[in-house]
Structure 1
Amino acid sequence: MKSGKIVKPRKLSDEKANARKLNRQQLERANDTAKKNQKSQLASPTIPFDPNDHILLVGEGDFSFAHSIVSEHGCADVLATCFDSEDQLLQKYPQAKIHIDYLTSLDQSVLYSVDATKLQQKVIRKGQQWDRIIFNFPHVGGKSTDVNRQVRYNQELLVSFFRAAYPQLSPGGTIIVTLFEGEPYTLWNIKDLARHVGLKVVTSFKFISKAYPEYEHARTLGNIEGGGGWKGEERDARTYIFQLNESEEKQNNAAKKRKADDSSSDDED
């Protein structure tokens, strides 16, 4: 019986061994950085407003977000609005009454039947300018099952909202929009839509729903028609901050001054 020949494993060259070691180290550093970033985001999520800001919320669902920014973040000047009438709202989201009662008990304002694309036609607060105008998860609802049409409808919604919102901003004010990540939302090209109407993207960041303890995502169609217990707050989402471009802001401020001058002249007459 022949004895088997023992084959010794080939040693890697020093160059290859060092390359593998370096790759492992780079991968470990990348993993550590990703973990640190994730912990940092969870520990200190970005809150894009201050307690003393004049805040206009449009497109509220059940008003749980409005409840949260008042109760958890100390916001003291909030006007929370929704598209539905009061009756429609309470039929779609019965839980809304709890949040509305809380807001009104602290002298925060709630307004129904406000179209986010026609803010200039709605007398919200005469002469009021807003530091932050916030539209969370804008969506037209189930207007079509065709993806391309849905994308177009939602793009039209955003463009109309931007055009209606920016004249209501105070100097240096921002428009804040949060969308889910991934398709079809990325197909909306929100940054390009904003630039088209004279807005610039200041920044964007991950939306951390846990930063708003009272908040629960409300479907556009409501609890029943929309499927009830769906938890939108568990999906990845991103918040975008927009401001007027300098040229647009100058034009906007000039228009506001002319309007104020005209109003003053009318009062004198």
Structure 2
Amino acid sequence: MVSSTRFLRARFIAEGDLSFARSLIEQHTCTHITATVYESSLAELEEKYPHVGENVTIIEDGGGIIRYGVDATKMKPWTNGKRGEGIMERVVFNFPHVGGKSTDVNRQVRYNQDLLVKFFKQAIPSLSLKHGSSIIVTLFEGEPYTLWNIRDLGRHSGLEVKESFKFQAKAYPGYKHARTLGVVKGKNGEVGGGWKGEERPARSYVFVRKGEGAVMGDGKRQREQSSDEGTDEELDDSEEWEGIGDAPGDEVDNDIMEETDED
């Protein structure tokens, strides 16, 4: 699944403890990977994820790049300089969420929709002009995530869903879903267990520039969807996806609201 695309230029946004990027490099020999984190430095990242140093070492030794202090809603485009053309063939944002413990579902939906709209706006200029360059967003399945209407958000941003597929965390040995708050410890000081995001059903959505989806892939008919009740091309577990793996990842930190965990 990864072998045909391991040489694509790809950026991974809000990578948390970097375990997904590490797995891509260590287990799938992917190259040209840049992983970004919201934290401003390695020291700050280690405060949240004490184990992250090993992941950083493996990523950098494997040719990957780590960028600190990257806000998904304000990030600058990655271009080739004077011509200003995007250079990324994949921009991947896994499990975006503004954080917070608010129980106001409507407010959470609005904040997260705002996050995604701003992300799309910032990510599109980074896409290479190469046909088929894409933005991949992975969300947990079910409510409240379906209420975000991610297909509509992409459509209003000038994108369309080429296909979607179930995310398989087990395909990435060593990957663990990182919580926004960092490593959670109990009252006795031990690292908490329980909630494991990598075991929760999730789906990845592959967005391309509007008009490209209908002519991509082995003659398969693609069409833009106007809501999350649509029927985009859904790949089953046996089909290959022309992207970087199944794109699991980590919850995002950003400055839209207080950076606390939703769960």
Q: TM-score, normalised by structure 2?
A: 0.71
Partner-residue secondary structure (3-state), 1:170: coil
Distance 1:67 1:124 in 2: 25
1:217–1:233 Cα contact (<8 Å) kept: yes
Partner-residue secondary structure (3-state), 2:76: helix
* Count of residues in Structure 1 that have an aligned counterpart in Structure 2: 201
Residue 120 of structure 2 corresponds to 162
Query: Relative to structure 1, is the Cα distance of residues 48 and 178 closer, same or farther in structure 2, using a 3 angstrom cutoff?
Result: farther
Task: State the Cα distance separating 1:104 from its structure 2 match.
Answer: 1.1
Distance 1:48 1:240 in 2: 20
Query: Relative to structure 1, is the Cα distance of residues 244 and 79 closer, same or farther in structure 2, using a 3 angstrom cutoff?
Result: same
Matched, 1:99 2:48: no
Residue 168 of structure 2 corresponds to 208
2:73–2:119 Cα contact (<8 Å) kept: yes
Query: Relative to structure 1, is the Cα distance of residues 245 and 178 closer, same or farther in structure 2, using a 3 angstrom cutoff?
Result: same
Partner-residue secondary structure (3-state), 2:146: helix
2:79–2:87 Cα contact (<8 Å) kept: no
- Structure having the higher helix fraction is 1
2:26–2:62 Cα contact (<8 Å) kept: no
Distance 2:62 2:115 in 1: 32
Query: Relative to structure 1, is the Cα distance of residues 225 and 113 closer, same or farther in structure 2, using a 3 angstrom cutoff?
Result: farther
2:26–2:58 Cα contact (<8 Å) kept: no
Distance 2:174 2:8 in 1: 20
Query: Relative to structure 1, is the Cα distance of residues 204 and 71 closer, same or farther in structure 2, using a 3 angstrom cutoff?
Result: same
Query: Relative to structure 1, is the Cα distance of residues 184 and 232 closer, same or farther in structure 2, using a 3 angstrom cutoff?
Result: same
Distance 1:187 1:174 in 2: 23
Distance 1:77 1:89 in 2: 22
1:181–1:236 Cα contact (<8 Å) kept: yes
Residue 78 of structure 1 corresponds to 33
Task: State the Cα distance separating 1:228 from its structure 2 match.
Answer: 3.8
Distance 1:61 1:124 in 2: 24
Q: What residue ranges of structure 2 are gaps of 5+ in the alignment?
A: 213-263
Task: State the Cα distance separating 1:94 from its structure 2 match.
Answer: 1.2
Q: Deviation string for 1:174-213 (max 9, x for gaps)?
A: 0011110011111111111100111010000100001111
Partner-residue secondary structure (3-state), 1:118: coil
Partner-residue secondary structure (3-state), 1:103: helix
- Kindly, what percent of the aligned residue pairs are identical? 52
Residue 150 of structure 1 corresponds to 108
Matched, 1:108 2:64: yes
Pairwise mapping of residues 211-230 of structure 1 onto structure 2 (< 5 A)? 211-224=171-184, 228-229=192-193, 230=195
57, 61, 69: which one aligns with 2:12: 57
How well do the aligned residues superpose, as a CA RMSD in angstroms?
2.3
Matched, 1:189 2:149: yes
Larger radius of gyration: 1
Pairwise mapping of residues 226-265 of structure 1 onto structure 2 (< 5 A)? 228-229=192-193, 230-246=195-211
Partner-residue secondary structure (3-state), 1:178: strand
Q: What residue ranges of structure 1 are gaps of 5+ in the alignment?
A: 1-45, 248-269
2:3–2:28 Cα contact (<8 Å) kept: no
97, 111, 132: which one aligns with 2:90: 132
Distance 2:80 2:36 in 1: 12
Q: Structure 2: which amino acid aligns with 1:93? A: Y
Q: Structure 2: which amino acid aligns with 1:244? A: R
1:49–1:132 Cα contact (<8 Å) kept: no
Distance 2:46 2:4 in 1: 28
Q: Structure 1: which amino acid aligns with 2:24? A: I
Q: Deviation string for 1:131-190 (max 9, x for gaps)?
A: 000111011111633111111111100010011001100122100111100111111111
